[in-house]
Homo-oligomer: A and B are copies of this chain.
């Protein structure tokens, strides 16, 4: 998928919402307890209820790996379900992988060769070797961690280098030259929305994947105000605030309502800032 195609979806749906499928089997609603694959059934219901309001889904691999082989099956089935039924929706495997040449190649194959997802989140720690193999697939994306929303982002990401830049700024500066705004996105936490201004000076055209709105306290308004570019350039993720908004048999319906609320707010922000 190109950045232009993502932007067209955003305009069409008036939404830049990414729904995080952090599907915890311990929180599966009771009504799905008897299902053969509750994790997949949950996702399927959530996707059907929210697809009208979302341009992106982001399954978080940790929640599937926790169930080992069975979890990987639920992950693959979920991706295929989205692909088959909502082919225009962008899918990000939130895997935060990061290894070198040989191994990185294998991860790229794992996620891209079967056509399961459009993008994978990657840690930049080991440098260019980590990211490059993911560029070998047309229309696929590397989503590189830059400035994350957690408190310990201060430990290393925020450290100042001798050249005056902070580590996350160095990551943006350096890695934006490896690929292009058509195959690279960045993770920037919403809890640091005021810093989006500076980030946009380094990467004016790249899409930013922004977690941390809602449960982690980030403000959607601030993210749009500081981070939106001419082609929106934002995918704002919400996980718990949507998928676990209700735990009764109405869970999917309520998730749909929550997603619609977010979409409506996003529509206003697109009018105000685009």
The interface of chain A, by Cβ under 8 A from chain B, is: 22, 24, 60, 62-63, 65-69, 71-73, 76, 94, 96-104, 106-107, 109-110, 113-114, 123-130, 145, 148-157, 159-163, 167, 170-171, 174-175
**A110 → chain B, closest Cβ, in Å?**
4
Query: What are 17 A-B interface contacts by the 8 Å CB criterion?
Result: A22-B103, A62-B97, A62-B107, A63-B106, A67-B110, A69-B73, A69-B76, A96-B97, A124-B125, A126-B153, A127-B152, A127-B153, A127-B157, A128-B152, A129-B150, A156-B167, A156-B171
Measured between beta carbons, the chain B residues less than 8 angstroms from A126 are 123, 145, 148, 150, 152-153, 155-157
Task: Point out the residues of chain B lying under 8 angstroms from A107, CB to CB.
Answer: 62, 65-66
A62 touches B170 (CB 8 A): no
Q: Which of B68, B127, B161 contacts A114 (CB 8 A)?
A: B68
Closest 10 CB pairs of A and B: A127-B152, A127-B155, A62-B106, A128-B152, A100-B150, A65-B110, A123-B123, A129-B152, A160-B162, A66-B110
